[in-house]
Structure 1
Amino acid sequence: MKRLTLIRHAKSAWGDPALDDFDRPLNSRGKTAAPRMGEHLARDGLCPDLIVSSPAKRARKTARLIARELDYPAEAILYRQQIYEAELDTLIELVHGLPEEEHVMLVGHNPGMSELGQWFNPEAPDWLPTCAVLTLELDIGAWQNAACGSGVIGRYDYPKKAR
């Protein structure tokens, strides 16, 4: 049995039009929402064995803020460039190549995170809001066996719902 938690990065700042998309930071709402979602995950015992994140600034910060609430060491977070602006096929390939940990958390961007959730379960939301958490339970022994439609939604939460 495997568990995959998909997290879209928290709300980011758009105030500086000269700033490259990759370097956009979280805004104040994002800096508040990410720890709150981490607290909810910790309260429910959903602490991952591995966190893998996009290296974009807003995703890195989201991953670190959530990790802190889960007592997960920030230095253990893996950053994978292919998550940034990834298409569905790239994310599926990433999942198939994950280390054989039981619970993996992926922190990334839309539309990829939403598409991956729907690939695993067509009843998953078609658009994950910022800092949304979608946990999928997979009845597989190895990540390479993850298949379309193989996910059961275990949790779906986002900041406005979690108030």
Structure 2
Amino acid sequence: MTCTLILTRHAKSAWDSTAPSDHARPLTSRGRHAATALGDWLRRQGHVPDQVISSPSQRTRETYERMQLSAPAVFVERLYQAHANIIFQVLKEAERPCTMILGHNPSVGSFAMEMTRNAPDHPRFYNYPTGSTLILEFDIPKWSKLERGTGKLVDFVVPGELEAA
């Protein structure tokens, strides 16, 4: 059996927002467009999650909404400003074979590097810009058996590539 991880950093957020807190910062217009493009790309590629586990921040919620995924989402406070170890623990608790984790940097980028057996040959992988999405497959029967460094690279994309296409 195989478990598939879709690891996505939220789309571009507004630093100049009048939001009362970092948690409440919304997406920019560019971020909203990128999130829609990412959802379209996931569907075209057949990378459709069975469940989404997301940080509860405004920008991750908006990213999820704009992706228009049919998978239900749970918003987990532990993923907001989480260390990569927290993401690992949250994923080990996942119940569906194709799971999306939607979160923030630097933890999402660090987690991506920890989980992949072979990093993508992509110039943006190591700084994991907003909207970056990594697809990894794990030869495990369920997420509780997850180990670091065992993910087989399936795909990696950044929104700028989708917008140019």
* Aligned ranges 1:24-39 → 2 under 5 Å: 24-39=25-40
Q: Does 1:161 pair with 2:161?
A: yes
Q: Quote the sequence identity (%).
A: 32
Runs of 5+ unmatched residues, structure 1: none
1:121-150 CA-to-partner distances (Å, cap 9, x unmatched) read 162522211111101111111111111111
The 2-side partners of 1:119 and 1:14 are apart by 28
Render the CA deviation track for 1:96-143: whole Å, top value 9, x for unaligned.
1111x1100111000111111111116252221111110111111111
Give the CA RMSD over aligned residues: 1.4
2:36 counterpart letter in structure 1: P
Give the stretch that moved more between structures: 55-64 or 13-22: 13-22
Distance in 2 between the 1:18 and 1:50 partners? 29
Residues of 2 paired with 1:94 and 1:105: CA distance? Answer: 11
Instruction: Report the CA distance between 1:18 and its aligned residue.
Output: 6.2
Select 1:116's aligned residue among 111, 115, 125: 111
How far off its partner does 1:6 sit? 0.4
Distance 2:17 2:133 in 1: 27
Structure 2 equivalent of residue 82 of structure 1: 78
Aligned equivalent of 1:2: 3
Aligned partner of 2:126 in structure 1 is 126
SS of 1:51's partner is strand
Aligned to 1:96: 92
Aligned length: 157
Residues 68-111 of structure 1 deviation map (CA, whole Å, 9 limit, x = unaligned) = 1x4x16xx211100110000111111111111x11001110001
Q: Unpaired runs of 5+ in structure 2? A: none
TM-score using structure 1 length = 0.91
